[in-house]
A and B are shown apart, each in its own frame.
Chain A
């Protein structure tokens, strides 16, 4: 055998040159994740790349954003909004840490039984690192503002209390709850951005609201993929929506006559402090509409009222 023949025999398949990689469109959340994994055959590497592209395209700097705020322009009512936001955002880190851990546990539980569900879980756990990083921006931005503005100090005891990790639950319930939490946060921050006087502070609230909308869309996408897989039942999504929307439900947050006292974890919406004469974001109707829309996207079931959510949930529960 000649040297030439031998070298041809061991020739490796040609490597695609960078020039033939197809051009990528604008980064976006995969709304049809189950379809992407099953029909389109995307791998976790592909999905992670999309997550990375979107994350990079949305990055912003807290330091730069704060440099645009004119502290002399921030009135008493606006200061109170900042203080509440900073305290509330302390609870997001344990939320993201827990999601990462739960998603990985669930991934391994499903790996043999249903590799697609395992991949959805892993995609969700992988994305939680971006969620955590983005929420860190929100937490530090508002708390730094509170410090500079010399607002009521958040004690280390409160900081540690707000870092308590939410107990584990069914993954579809968890993702629906997180979707709704992001709906409430996005609407509240959107309202804050319209109320505050200083343009720099307005831009900060607007940016954070936009981030929360993006997080909500991610949670909806993961929850929908679980329902699409057939491994999770729409009932769980409706149960959580009913928990928020029912009379005296979570949607009313700390404005409820009675807030459950828990020693296990802190729900940020229960801890907002409302002060007499100060504006507090509400917009219940808008939040309800967005929750109905999220339920439609997750489960495919249309509801248009709180009663409709309860009736649908009760039908799904059965006897």
Chain B
């Protein structure tokens, strides 16, 4: 089982890859999801965003055997909150294994 720090850096890296922005762009300004959609050339709307979350979750499943399901998040949610939700899910002992 990877430690929390390892998981956090994995989620940051994968999420940035999937939205098509750098980790620095994404997390240093703590972008909201709506700003993220505007800034990313890969994103048109919240369905693209949902897909970026899904790819990150699928990566966690494939590489660490962790199953993460994210709730619907409003577009004014900052990415730090998204990261916290991901971390809460992967460290939650009640979650289902992959």
Q: A169-B44, A243-B46, A319-B62 are contacts. A314–B54 as well, Cβ < 8 Å?
A: yes
| A177 CB → nearest B CB, Å | 9
Residues of B within 8 A of A247 (CB): 71-72
For window 223-261 of chain A, which residues contact chain B by CB distance below 8 Å?
236, 239-240, 242-243, 246-249, 258, 260
Q: Is the CB of B45 within 8 A of A167?
A: yes
Q: What interface size band does chain A fall in?
A: 20 to 34
| B92 CB → nearest A CB, Å | 16
Residues of B within 8 A of A173 (CB): 47
Q: Is the CB of B74 within 8 A of A314?
A: no
Report the separation of the CA atoms of residues A93 and B62 in the bound assembly, to the nearest whole angstrom.
45
Report the separation of the CA atoms of residues A248 and B47 in the bound assembly, to the nearest whole angstrom.
14
Residues of B within 8 A of A318 (CB): 55, 58
A131 at the binding interface (Cβ < 8 Å): no
| B50 CB → nearest A CB, Å | 6
Residues of B within 8 A of A260 (CB): 46, 74-75
Residues of A within 8 A of B74 (CB): 258, 260
Look across to chain A and name the residue whose beta carbon is closest to the beta carbon of B57.
A314
| A256 CB → nearest B CB, Å | 9
| A227 CB → nearest B CB, Å | 17
Residues of A within 8 A of B55 (CB): 317-319
B51 at the binding interface (Cβ < 8 Å): yes
Look across to chain A and name the residue whose beta carbon is closest to the beta carbon of B59.
A319
Residues of A within 8 A of B72 (CB): 246-249
Task: Give the total of B residues in contact with A, Cβ under 8 Å.
Answer: 17
| B93 CB → nearest A CB, Å | 21
Look across to chain A and name the residue whose beta carbon is closest to the beta carbon of B47.
A239
Q: A167-B45, A243-B46, A310-B69 are contacts. A317–B51 as well, Cβ < 8 Å?
A: yes
Report the separation of the CA atoms of residues A236 and B75 in the bound assembly, to the nearest whole angstrom.
20
A313 at the binding interface (Cβ < 8 Å): yes
Residues of B within 8 A of A246 (CB): 71-72
Q: Is the CB of A242 within 8 A of B57?
A: no
B50: which of A169, A243, A248, A319 is its contact (CB, 8 Å)?
Answer: A243
Residues of B within 8 A of A236 (CB): 47
Look across to chain B and name the residue whose beta carbon is closest to the beta carbon of A167.
B45
For window 18-74 of chain B, which residues contact chain A by CB distance below 8 Å?
44-47, 50-51, 54-55, 57-59, 62, 69, 71-72, 74
Q: Is the CB of B47 within 8 A of A319?
A: no
Q: Is the CB of A240 within 8 A of B47?
A: yes
Q: Is the CB of B58 within 8 A of A169?
A: no
| B91 CB → nearest A CB, Å | 20
Residues of A within 8 A of B58 (CB): 314, 317-319
Look across to chain B and name the residue whose beta carbon is closest to the beta carbon of A177.
B47
Look across to chain B and name the residue whose beta carbon is closest to the beta carbon of A246.
B72
| B11 CB → nearest A CB, Å | 13
Q: A310-B69, A314-B58, A319-B59 are contacts. A239–B46 as well, Cβ < 8 Å?
A: no
Given contacts A169-B45, A239-B47, A249-B72, 7 further A-B contacts (CB under 8 A): A169-B44, A242-B50, A243-B46, A247-B71, A317-B55, A318-B58, A319-B58
Interchain Cβ contacts under 8 Å between A and B, 7 examples: A169-B44, A242-B50, A248-B71, A258-B74, A317-B55, A318-B55, A319-B59
